[in-house]
Amino acid sequence: MTVDIVLLHLAAGGNTTLEFGNSRCLVDGLTTSYRILLEQSDPHAVNQENKTFLYFVCAPWILTGLVITNLIRGDNVTNTVSPLKVVPYENFSQLFENNFTFVDGGAPATCQDFHRYCGSINAQAHSVAVTFALTNMGMLIRLSAYKRISKLVRKFYYETRPNKLDYWNSPKEFSCLGHKVAILGWQGKLQEAKDFLERVHPGPAYALGKESIATIKFGWATRNIVDPSFVMRFKALDSSNIAEKWVWYATRTIKLRQRDKNERITTGPAPLVMKGNITELFKVLFMGLLITFALFLTEHISSNLVVKTEWRKVQKFLIVCYLELPSLLRYLPYKIL
């Protein structure tokens, strides 16, 4: 609507004459296009000189304004109803297809079991996790995928600027702009890394994958317990599925933080549905138009009948009806009884 008003003002401004007298003033000249738009019977809206070329000059501007405003309105509705979003990478096969480079840090020094199972202090975290999972009856991704991940991780050490792509050792210098980098690590640490990168290095689209290299079983070990009731309560706690509920709530929290209201919509953008008060307004407007049309039609027909019919005939007809009315009133009760 704003563009239409500006374009109408530009089209009407060429023929506007500002006179500081009794009839015209500066405000009237500046508001000419607005009064034309609001149909306030502005004298400049009338083509008094009957110049045909004015219609061809103003029509393109008005049509252009309508097209632009409809385009902006449609774009705003599309962005509101179904905004564009970046599809995240969720599994390792997508990373392999797009030639990602994997970045991994060392195993945590506080966990001596990792280093004992791996046999090396400088081992990478993904290899330590896989070794620990195989030793403790954990779950492992496909062996072919694991070998491919290990090869892609070793590529990282041949980069000319390793600190730029090493998040675990230099998070503040990390930058994946122009690089396809996937960071390996524990699930909780990866969530912290994602939050840190979105806060410190905004711009790229960061996402957490849904596929794990290895899954390690963990739990509590009972040693030197004197009270036998503790073991019974511990088993009851294990069989109550409280731990599984904790895990479910933790994963559910991550999904709710990243959810999109339109992710379940498969049909794409849809027109807005008018319900409630908006529909009632259109119903009232439609009823008003019908009543107005009926009154106009009645007035038009009655005016034509009165004009075409002679007044003397109408007067005689009314007098006859008045004289016959008493007889009709006496006749009606007799017929009813």
In DSSP notation, 136-188 reads TT-EE--HHHHHHHHHHHHGGGG-S-HHHH-TTT-TTT---TTS-EEE---HH
- Let me know whether 130 and 214 are in one domain: yes
Note whether residue 303 is domain-resident: yes
- Let me know whether 32 and 101 are in one domain: no
Average the pLDDT over 195-224 and give the result: 78
Note whether residue 110 is domain-resident: yes
At 279, the amino acid letter reads: T
Note whether residue 204 is domain-resident: yes
- Let me know whether 109 and 188 are in one domain: yes
Q: What angle do helix axes 53-81 and 2-13 make, rounded to 10 degrees?
A: 160
Per the structure, how many domains does the chain have? Answer: 4
- Under DSSP, is residue 239 helix (H, G, I), strand (E, B) or coil? helix
Name the residue range of residue 141's domain: 92-218
**Burial class (CB within 10 angstroms; exposed 0-12, middle 13-18, buried 19+) of 4:** middle
Which residue, of 81, 114, 136, is where some domain finishes? 81
Q: How confident is the model at residue 56 (pLDDT cuts 50, 70, 90)?
A: confident
**Taking every pair of C-alpha atoms in the chain, what is the biggest distance, in angstroms?**
125
206 vs 322 pLDDT, higher one: 206
Instruction: Please give the pLDDT value at position 33.
Output: 62
Q: How confident is the model at residue 224 (pLDDT cuts 50, 70, 90)?
A: confident
232 vs 267 pLDDT, higher one: 232
Note whether residue 301 is domain-resident: yes
pLDDT at 41 over 60: no
Chain position carrying tokens 């296009």: 33
Note whether residue 87 is domain-resident: no
Which residue, of 81, 106, 136, is where some domain finishes? 81
**Burial class (CB within 10 angstroms; exposed 0-12, middle 13-18, buried 19+) of 12:** buried
Q: How confident is the model at residue 10 (pLDDT cuts 50, 70, 90)?
A: very low
- Let me know whether 48 and 65 are in one domain: yes
**Measured in Å, how far apart are the chain's first and last C-alpha atoms?**
71
- Let me know whether 110 and 189 are in one domain: yes
Q: How confident is the model at residue 20 (pLDDT cuts 50, 70, 90)?
A: very low
Instruction: Please give the pLDDT value at position 162.
Output: 58
Note whether residue 15 is domain-resident: yes
Beta bridge partners of 124: 106
Note whether residue 12 is domain-resident: yes
- Let me know whether 104 and 162 are in one domain: yes
Average the pLDDT over 153-165 and give the result: 57
Q: How confident is the model at residue 250 (pLDDT cuts 50, 70, 90)?
A: confident
User: What burial letters (b/e) apply to 110-143, b meaning 16+ CB within 10 Å?
Assistant: eeeebbebbeeeebbbbbbbbbbbeeeebebbee
Average the pLDDT over 257-286 and give the result: 63
Instruction: Please give the pLDDT value at position 336.
Output: 42
Cβ count near 42 (within 10 Å):
18
- Let me know whether 11 and 53 are in one domain: yes
107 vs 71 pLDDT, higher one: 71
The two structure tokens encoding residue 161:
């600027």
Question: Cα(97)–Cα(257) distance, rounded to whole angstroms?
Answer: 28
- Under DSSP, is residue 241 helix (H, G, I), strand (E, B) or coil? coil
- Let me know whether 118 and 182 are in one domain: yes
- Let me know whether 189 and 117 are in one domain: yes
- Let me know whether 151 and 234 are in one domain: no
Q: For residue 177, report the phi and psi dihedrals to the nearest 5 degrees.
A: -65, 125
Q: How confident is the model at residue 169 (pLDDT cuts 50, 70, 90)?
A: confident
Instruction: Please give the pLDDT value at position 163.
Output: 62
- Let me know whether 210 and 229 are in one domain: no
Average the pLDDT over 98-118 and give the result: 67
Q: What digits encode the pLDDT tens for the residues 58-71?
A: 788 888 888 888 88
| DSSP per-residue string spanning 192-229 | HHHHHHHHHS-SS-----S--SEE--------S---HH
Which residue, of 34, 50, 81, is where some domain finishes? 81
- Let me know whether 251 and 165 are in one domain: no
Note whether residue 270 is domain-resident: no
pLDDT at 300 over 50: yes
Q: How confident is the model at residue 337 (pLDDT cuts 50, 70, 90)?
A: very low
Instruction: Please give the pLDDT value at position 12.
Output: 43
pLDDT at 142 over 70: yes
Contacts 24+ apart (CB under 8 A), 34-38: 34/5, 34/9, 36/8, 36/12, 37/4, 37/5, 37/8
**Beta carbons of 123 and 106 less than 8 angstroms apart:** yes
Query: Considering the chain, what percentage of its residues have pLDDT values greater than 70?
Result: 58
